[in-house]
Amino acid sequence: MITSFRIISYLEGISYLLILFVTMPLKYMFDSPEPNKVIGMAHGFLFLIYIVFAFLVKPEKKWNTKTLAIVLLCSIIPFGTFWMDKKYLK
């Protein structure tokens, strides 16, 4: 379960960075919204899976509510999922 969560967290983090630094500039600076739609949908799916996996991993890692809140918060902070992996999953 933890290995799957690590993979999901990396993919979610990469998709978030792609949205912030690739597709949003394409959308607003070059009037090309198509990449944002595709990556945005993938990111939305990965985000939801990340949330579900965080709750599933909580009992396995014996996280308290504060730790779970930090792990969930990391999903909306750029580079947060990578830091979370290093701090809470290794």
For residue 22, the model assigns a pLDDT of: 97
Domain ranges of the chain: 2-89
> Dihedral, CA atoms, 56, 57, 62, 66, nearest 10 degrees?
-80
> What pLDDT is stored for residue 9 in this prediction?
97
Is the model's pLDDT at 49 over the cut of 90?
yes
Q: How far is CA 64 from the centre of its chain?
A: 20
Q: Looking at the predicted structure, is the pLDDT value of residue 90 above 90?
A: no
Mean pLDDT, all residues of the chain: 96
CB distance 34 to 22 below 8 Å: no
